[in-house]
Amino acid sequence: MSKSCDVSKPNSYHVIIIGGGPAAVSAAIYTHRFDFKTLIIGQEYGGAISRTYLIENYPGFFDVSGFDLMDAFQKHYEHFNIPYIFETVTKIEKEAEGKFVVTASGGEKYESCAVIVATGGKYRKLNIPGEEEFHGRGVSYCATCDGPFFRDKTIIVVGGSDSAAVEALFLSKFGKNVYIVYRRDKIRSEPINTQRVNENEKIEIITNTTLKRIIGKDKVEAVEFHDGTIFPTDAVFIEIGEIPQSDLVKDLGVNLNEKGEILVDKFAQTNVPGIFAAGDVTDIREKQVITAAAQAVSAAYSVRDYIGNL
């Protein structure tokens, strides 16, 4: 253990991990095992994956909801008594002596020798008229949160990814009809989910189409497609990907790509010594729970090497 990384002061840690999803928790478990004083700060626990209806590709969990999987993660980190502060990080500053000061939304400041950024992404929006106005009144970004409110209703899912297909399958349990609206000629979900969508009598795919606006009075009543067609619906679930939450590291000079993702090497290191990143906020190609967890482990090992050399 490096003697130059003094954690004897209050609010002082070897490593602070920012985020609450699989990457954050996985990193914390490993840094704790390396005997590092670890703190997790995250606005919510579980991240976007906790709102996912079905996960079938995480080893050891053949068929599990995102909520249940993250519940298992939570039991793991709580077993080690790793502290978790449910707040938003508003600023990361680097001090002259190389340590970092992390400010939380409650105003408290925390000091560490290393920081792992695992902030994931936030919902990407369509940015069309009616989207903001009807958010919470028929417009949603979370099927597991809001799907049950639309029993026997007509539902539109916007998007063509595997996540959009899974959302549509979940919503078909409640809705009378579910329409997947996608801008290309075919959805690009995993073959098993494409098959399930095609076999589901409640689901219909509308391709080569985009939404121009969302229409209603007190709630969603219809959408207008790009060709001017008015299509009645009770709900619009938007599943078009995420925007990486990387704003925190911009002032530190951390390199980002054109998408705003944090650039890391194969060891989850950024270009700024002491700042590491893992999960969907990085430029990793596969945005999956298992890759987020694996990359977080690399980050934890890199933190071990970095602090050991201080």
Residues labelled as active-site residues: 142, 145-146
Region of 268 please: left (phi>0), alpha (psi -120 to 50) or beta: left
Using alpha carbons, select from 36, 45, 48 the residue that is nearest to residue 115.
36
Tokens linked to 230: 């008015």
Cβ distance 294 to 301 under 8 Å?
A: no
E strand intervals along 171-282: 177-181, 203-206, 211-216, 220-225, 230-232, 235-238, 242-244, 275-277
The answer to whether the CB of 192 falls within 8 A of the CB of 271 is no
Specify whether the CB–CB gap between 104 and 88 falls below 8 A: yes
Residue by residue, DSSP assigns 35-102 as T--EEEE-SSSSTGGGG-S-B--BTTBSSB-HHHHHHHHHHHHHHTT--EE-S-EEEEEE-TTS-EEE
